[in-house]
Structure 1
Amino acid sequence: GLQLPLHRLCGVFYTHVGFYLNQVLMTSALQTFAFVCAFFALGQALDTNFADGAIGLSASYFGLLYFVFVLASMLPLVLEKCVEEGLRAALGSVANSLLSLSPVFASFQSKMMGYYFESTVHYGGAQYIPTGRGLATAREPFSKLFQTFAASHLQEGFELAVLLCFGSAVRYEWPFYLCMTFSIFSWTFAPFLFNPRQFDSPRQALRDLASWAAWMCAPGADPGAAWVAWADR
């Protein structure tokens, strides 16, 4: 690796461990930025000009860089479709991806990769989990989804929402609110949106919601039957 040019070395790094490290940095940067903006908003009570720096930062860097990152992620697909099938097919592919909420799933997947990569680096314990070679299409109840994604997505999504509420005392630029709302939505609602056969039966969804509420309120020592036992694990 020491003999490679810098641009080739960066490419090799990003296609290996750098890709997962980038997911961690994206998540950490988003959380840090939300905290800093809330801090500046609360500090405005001491000095009316205290939040000017945060407003300028959100207007100049955050929204612009976020959009550049999203566009850079979609650019290879657009160029490939444009070269092979033409501009109309490329635009149709982009429209289909947007209508199928692919960006929401991509944000959710990025958060998941960053969370488990960081957990593996901190605590170790990486192991192979045999899952077979079949495609998992089973529908999971709300309580199971909550147990699976609470630590990695839901808690931090609600944390961002709280910080955004504190930061609402300052009027930031619209790209900041758009990017933050998109991240909060993808982290908190993507597990339920992409649950197989989620919207086939509204009655089943209501039963799942009632089962989740009962699991949240039930006492007991079984983590699968009571939220209190699950949280104390």
Structure 2
Amino acid sequence: MHYGHPDVFDRVFHITRGGISKASRVINISEDIFSGFNSTLRQGNVTHHEYIQVGKGRDVGLNQISLFEGKVSGGNGEQVLSRDVYRLGQLFDFFRMMSFYFTTVGYYFCMMLTVLTVYIFLYGKAYLALSGVGEAVEIRALITKNNALSAALNTQFLLQIGIFTAVPMVLGFILELGFLRAVVNFITMQFQLCSVFFTFSLGTKSHYFGRTILHGGARYQATGRGFVVRHIRFSENYRLYSRSHFVKGLEVVLLLVVYLAYGYNDGGTLSYILLTVSSWFMALSWLFAPYLFNPSGFEWQKTVEDFRDWTNWLFYRGGIGVKGQESWEAWWDEELAHIRTLSGRIMETILSLRFFHLPIWCCIQASYTRK
């Protein structure tokens, strides 16, 4: 089930076994892998012969890469919801099932779990701080000298789960290049801000994968084939990353500030930094990566032009035939187009209730502090 454009189909085999009706981007956005699923379910073979390995010269811009990753992530979300994957899971033996999981939906599922872990951790810390329970428990742990309880409360190691995703890459470098060159390459990549890029990519994958699971309807993203080493306007970056990165990054920053203001830290500043450094890194990467990787992103004249274009986009009214690139109102309608069903609206409402609970707890804590 090679995830790429299939070059050759055995027409006689597929037609005599029902055809390959799902191998269409109208039905499923990842049409190529669904044809592989159908072939495997019908006792067929899918082989991939690689004679020469070459690097494909495309997708060198951040926006192109993000669009492509969004398309693939949405396709994996459709695979999770499909009958094909369910049937394959019923038929595979354990070892082939593990291989199948890791090479299809498992990777994106782990990405989504990593982001959800950060959210659960920060909301848990914020609620413990605002309710006063965290402070009471930590003081009790200090009085009773319960070190195990203190260690459980300061669970900064939970936020380091994302580091494990880099382990296969490091081991691959060591096998191919040797230990010393692998270390040099890894340090060089850090200077090239690869950690910022892959943290930003983590948000892209988890957003589109999770949205497709909740609402379905993954869309084809035209990544383009043009010259992409050019300055990207702020309005274009905002349209592409607002819902997936900017809003969520600001939410994480808000939770970190609330925890800083109301949280109980016996260890002081150092304890807070060790506890939240990875969350701050994720939030800042989501907020500022499009500008770090944008050619001429900090040139003053282009910043002035971006602001003028941004204000024109904000104040242009939508209407019939107006595209999202021209008007904020039309873009907003397009962003909400995937919520088509009653169950989808209920799910979005439930998820949005977290914004309603936080200010209530803040008001309760503020009134308690004044007393």
Q: Which residue of 1 aligns with 2:317?
A: 220
Out of 132, 138, 162, the residue aligned to residue 254 of structure 2 is 162
Question: Residue 21 in 1 paired to residue 109 in 2?
Answer: yes
Q: Could you state the TM-score of these two structures normalised by the residue count of structure 2? A: 0.53
Scaled by the length of structure 1, the TM-score of the pair is 0.80
Distance in 1, Cα, partners of 2:316 & 2:219: 33
Identity across matched positions, percent: 27
Q: What are the equivalent positions in structure 2 for 1:64-75 lying under 5 Å apart?
A: 64-70=157-163, 72-75=164-167
Aligned counterparts of 1:59 and 1:118: Cα–Cα separation in 2: 28
Q: CA deviation at 1:186?
A: 1.2
Q: Which amino acid aligns with 1:204?
A: K
Alignment RMSD, CA only? Answer: 3.0
Q: 2:297 aligned with 1:205, yes or no? A: no
In structure 1, runs of 5+ residues without a counterpart are none
Which of 118, 127, 131 in structure 2 is aligned with 1:30?
Answer: 118
> Higher Cα Rg: structure 1 or 2?
2
User: Counterpart of 1:178?
Assistant: 277
- Indicate yes or no: 2:294 matched with 1:195: yes
Residue 126 of structure 1 aligns to a residue in which SS? coil
Amino acid paired to 2:306: D
Cα deviation for residue 137 of structure 1 reads 3.2
Structure 2, unmatched stretches of 5+, are 1-88, 142-148, 266-270, 335-371
CA distance in 2 between partners of 1:118 and 1:48 (Å)? 34
Q: Read off the aligned partner of 2:115 and give its amino acid letter.
A: T
**1:183: how far off?**
1.0
Higher relative contact order (CA 8 A, sep 6+): 1
Any conservation in 1 of the 2:204–2:245 contact (CA below 8 Å)? Answer: yes
- Aligned amino acid, residue 212 of structure 1: W
Aligned-partner residue type, residue 125 of structure 2: C
TM-superposed deviation, 1:78: 2.6
The question of 1:78 aligning with 2:166 is answered no
How far apart, in 1, do the equivalents of 2:204 and 2:211 lie? 11
Distance 1:142 1:82, change over 3 A: same
Matched, 1:12 2:100: yes
Q: Secondary structure at the match of 2:136?
A: coil
**Alpha-carbon separation, structure 2, partners of 1:219 and 1:3:** 54
5 Å-filtered alignment, 1:56-71, equals 56-57=151-152, 59-60=154-155, 63-70=156-163
> Structure 1 residues 149-158 or 162-171, which shifts more?
162-171
Counterpart selection for 1:99 from 173, 191, 194: 191
Separation in structure 1 between the aligned mates of residue 98 and residue 240 of structure 2, nearest angstrom = 34
How many angstroms apart in 2 are the aligned matches of 1:219 and 1:37? Answer: 41
Using the TM superposition, give the Cα deviation of residue 174 of structure 1 relative to its aligned residue in structure 2, in angstroms. 2.9
Confirm or deny: 8 A CA contact 1:23 1:110 kept in the other structure. Answer: yes
| Equivalent in 149, 173, 176 of residue 241 of structure 2 | 149
- CA offsets per residue over residues 103-127 of structure 1, 9 Å max, x none? 1111111111111111222222224
Number of equivalenced pairs: 226
- The yes-or-no answer on 1:140 pairing with 2:232 is yes
Please list the CA deviations of residues 53-84 of structure 1 after superposition, one character each: whole Å capped at 9, or x if unmatched. Answer: 99744523xx32433531x3233333333333
**CA distance in structure 2 between the aligned counterparts of 1:64 and 1:135, rounded to whole angstroms:** 42
The question of 1:90 aligning with 2:182 is answered yes
Corresponding position: 1:113 with 2:205:
yes
Which shifted more, 144-153 or 206-215?
Answer: 206-215
DSSP 3-state at the match of 2:169: helix
